[in-house]
Amino acid sequence: MNKPLSGHDGPYDAPVEIRGFSVLPEWVDYNGHMNVGFYGVAFDMALEKLMVDHLGLGEVQVKALEQGPYVLQSHMNFLREVQPDEPFYFRFRMLDSDLKRGHYFAQMLSEKDNAVCATQEALFMNVSHETGRSVAYSDWAATRLARMVEDHKILEPAPQIGQPIGIRRSGQ
């Protein structure tokens, strides 16, 4: 398909904010805060809004083209508890893209005090539902991803971007 399905061609806010979330009762665990598994659900819900509302990808892309984004790798940092019924929002920045992939960083922030509660850095790839293999984005989609990367280059790097995981020991 040679024309966009939804979204817009930019410029894109730096960062793109996605709002309208709160901790649902079923997301609260026995510790009395949002369970670790539901952070991933919330980041995914916000990513879908970014994909559809800004880039014209995601579910609309799957329905029209039988291809869509698959997350290949994700790294989350949990910085502060999110409490029951607490409203929160996301800030997304696109770090890099090519003809088949995108690399983004997102922050989950409390609506109460704008504190960063969690971050996610992830790599996604466009996958054909027919073959199960990677496929290049349409020209318009690759152009939009590249534009978002360019628009987000002005953002200061967050300390969580590119961080390895492991036990830090003094003297090593």
pLDDT in tens, 84-126: 999 999 999 999 999 999 999 999 999 999 999 999 999 999 9
Do residues 4 and 52 touch, judged by C-beta distance below 8 A? Answer: no
Q: Tens of pLDDT along 41-54?
A: 999 999 999 999 99
CATH code where residue 98 lies: 3.10.129.10
Mean pLDDT of 75-82: 96
Q: Phi first, then psi: what are they for 35, rounded to 5°? A: -70, 145
Confidence of residue 73 (pLDDT cuts 50, 70, 90): very high
| Domain that includes residue 29, residue range | 16-152
pTM of the model: 0.94
Question: Is residue 162, in this structure, part of any structural domain at all?
Answer: no
Q: How far is CA 95 from CA 121, 134, 146, 162, in A?
A: 9, 20, 9, 11
Could you give the number of structural domains in the chain?
1
Does residue 124 form part of some domain?
yes
Q: Is residue 169 domain-resident?
A: no
Kindly list the distances between the CA atom of residue 11 and the CA atoms of 105, 136, 150, 158, in Å, as whole numbers in the listed order: 18, 23, 9, 22
